[in-house]
Amino acid sequence: MSRAGVETRLGHGMHRVATSLLVDASDRASVPAENLAVFRDFVVANLRHHHESEDAWLWPMILSAAPEQSQVFDELSREHERLDTALDRLAQAEVDGGPRTGRPALRDAAVEVRDRVHAHLEHEESVLFPALRDHITPDRWDAFSRRVIASSPTVAGHLTIGLFEEVGTPEEVRAALATMPEDVSALIPAMKSQAAADLRVLRGIPS
């Protein structure tokens, strides 16, 4: 699989795992409100960045080579808009309170986001993987990938590393992280360790 395919598969895998874990964690009373809030913010910020990057940069790149596919990519963008509405609800849901106070609404919002994301990615992948193979050269993908990395959200960025390791092979993860800025690359071991600890808390696994 090309680098474009690998990085796309890792990103989509991360979103699938993260949205599912947020539902589970919001239903787990042992997860501290602070951890849950940070993870919710991570999920919201990264999903927004993911589809905004596609709408603004990747879709135009593909359509410049395959304008006949405009209808299907317009539909994917409309799905992004509907997801944004669900993300707004998730971002506004209460996290703190007593053992269950505030969390039912958070869980409901997380379920909607999870379901929309999983359905959307299945639809998107049926179109996107062939388009990446047929219309995006390695150089064009490299420019897009670097732009995405440079504009990535900073909230709990270490969790991206930890989730990549769960959904990709060691070789795929190394390839995806190879373009990280040098100052960030030096922090990757510490980021992996922190991500593992935070994900254990969210899953209710004792340290």
pLDDT digits (tens, 9 = 90+) for 147-160: 999 999 999 999 99
pLDDT for 102: 64
* Nearest to 115, CA basis, from 82, 66, 148: 82
Q: Is 144 helix (H, G, I), strand (E, B) or coil?
A: helix
Nearest alpha-carbon partner for 61 in 134, 3, 8: 134
**How many other CB atoms sit within 10 Å of the CB of residue 121?**
20
pLDDT value of residue 53: 98
Report the greatest alpha carbon distance in the chain.
54
Across residues 45-60, what is the average pLDDT? 98
Q: Which residue has the tokens 């993860």?
A: 173
Judge whether residue 98 has pLDDT over 60: no
Residue 100 has pLDDT above 80, yes or no: no
Residue 120 predicted with pLDDT over 80: yes
Per-residue pLDDT of 178-204, as tens digits, reads 878 788 888 899 999 999 999 999 999
Q: What is the mean pLDDT of residues 17-24?
A: 98
Angle between helices 33-53 and 103-135 (to 10 degrees): 30
The Cα-based distances of 106 to 27, 45, 93 in angstroms read 9, 16, 5
58-94 pLDDT tens trace: 999 999 999 999 999 999 999 999 999 999 999 999 8
Confidence (pLDDT) at 153: 94
Q: Compare 7 and 176 and report the one with higher pLDDT.
A: 7
pLDDT, residue 101, reads 52
List, in order, residues 6 or more apart from 100 with CB less than 8 Å away. Answer: 29
DSSP 8-state assignment for residue 151:
T
Label residue 29 by pLDDT band (50, 70, 90): confident
The C-alpha atoms of residue 34 and residue 46 are separated, in whole angstroms, by 18
pTM: 0.94
Beta-carbon count within 10 A of 111 CB: 18
Distances (CA, A) of 13 to 16, 69, 132, 134: 5, 25, 17, 22
pLDDT of 96: 73
